[in-house]
Structure 1
Amino acid sequence: MSARRDPSGRRQAIVEAAADLIVESASTDLTHRRVAERAQVPLGATTYYFATLADLTTAALHHLAELADEALREMEGYLAAGGGAPAAVARSLSDYLADPRRVQADSALYFAGAQHSELRPLALRWFDGMTRILSAHTDPEAARAVAVYADGAMMHALVHDEPLDMAAITRAVTALMGAAPAASTTPGRDR
């Protein structure tokens, strides 16, 4: 079906194109022209569906937030299957940090929320969702501490060539969740 006959498909293509541009440029500074080119639609289509760039940007950020919600649902299932053990939390966080596109998308939400208070609820969805998920496996204070650590690890991943390694993430998550550390393999060494 052509885009002309599928207005909701055309609108969705415009939103996804805008979201891609936000993620790639790490900025919410969009233009109708750039979005139209990315979506492969006439320039007039972007202004038809979104009268202002603010409307288009907000729709794109909502799309990114929905993608974050999907990732949180995946994490929730993974952690449930792993019994919420710190190792499962660390593996899930490590997998997330190894996906630069997801990290950039979530950071775009954070930056938008920091710049525009009306967008802050979108930025907080990841943190609040992670805290809720982790609270099923540890106390709420520890869940918040792990979520704060995840935020910091996300920022670290943005500015370094590679994210934190699995061992570092596991040590931090284990400590934050208050779980007993793995037994030392060094003879005569007390923990």
Structure 2
Amino acid sequence: MAGTRRVANDPLRKERILDAARDVIAERGVHATTHRRIAEAADVPLGSLTYHFEGLEAILEQTFARLSESMSVRYRAAMEAASDRREACAAVTDLICGPEYATPREVVLLFEMYAYANHNAAVAETARQWMFRSRENLAAHFPERTRLALDALVEGWTMHQAFERAPLERDMVMATVTAIAEHVS
């Protein structure tokens, strides 16, 4: 029941609120995310939100920061596992074609983050830093201009795939990634 206290001293309440905010954003969009909906989804009293956060904007900012960080960890792990450029091309292909980079739900959250970044400087900076981290993760295997092209390809193809709602042809993606890696420097 919303508004009931779960534990007298609830050290994970803030994280639960952020998890609930992520769920509300994914299901309803930023435009329909409210304190009340987040509190209900987190099963915490409404006052807990204002206790832990300065306002709804702060909740959204921290939710998107957590999203970008968790996705960056997976991106980095995929690139660190590659021992050479060929394996790095395959890893980038996997990021584009599979759930390694973003689940369908996370793609929805990314769309919401990008849209909200147009109206919130902190979220815009989160998106910008995430872009830099993504390129940095490619640095072990690719020169700077190649990193720029590949990162744009990862983002763009992920968006296209979400709207087309059809799996990508892995062979075509791999050929494209390899061509960029070989010809853009």
Normalized against structure 1, the TM-score is what? 0.80
Q: 2:143 aligns with which of 139, 142, 162?
A: 139
Is it true that 1:46 corresponds to 2:52 in the alignment? Answer: no
Shift of 1:123: 1.1
The 3 A distance-change label for structure 1 pair 85 and 51 is: closer
**Counterpart residue number, 1:58:** 61
Give the AA of the match of 2:78: M
What is the distance in 2 between the residues matched to 1:105 and 1:168?
A: 27
Name 2:178's counterpart in structure 1: 174
Change (3 A) 1:5 1:148: same
Gaps of 5+ in 2: 1-5
Q: Which has the larger radius of gyration?
A: 1
- Partner Cα distance (1:127, 1:146) in 2: 11
**Is the Cα–Cα contact under 8 Å of residues 20 and 41 in structure 2 kept in the other structure?**
yes
2:160 aligned partner: 156
What is the aligned partner in structure 2 of residue 79 from structure 1? Answer: 82
What amino acid is aligned across from residue 13 of structure 1 in structure 2? Answer: R
Aligned length: 177
Question: Post-superposition shift, 1:19?
Answer: 1.6
Structure 1: gaps (5+ residues): 180-191
Residue in 1 that maps onto 2:97: 94
TM-superposed deviation, 1:56: 1.5
Letter of the 1:158 partner, please give it: A
Identical aligned pairs, as a percentage? 28
Counterparts of 2:108 and 2:83 in 1: how far apart (Å)?
Answer: 26
Q: Does structure 2 conserve the Cα–Cα contact (< 8 Å) formed by 1:72 and 1:130?
A: yes
Q: For residues 97 and 59 of structure 1, do their structure 2 counterparts lie closer, same or farther at Cα, with a shift above 3 Å needed?
A: closer
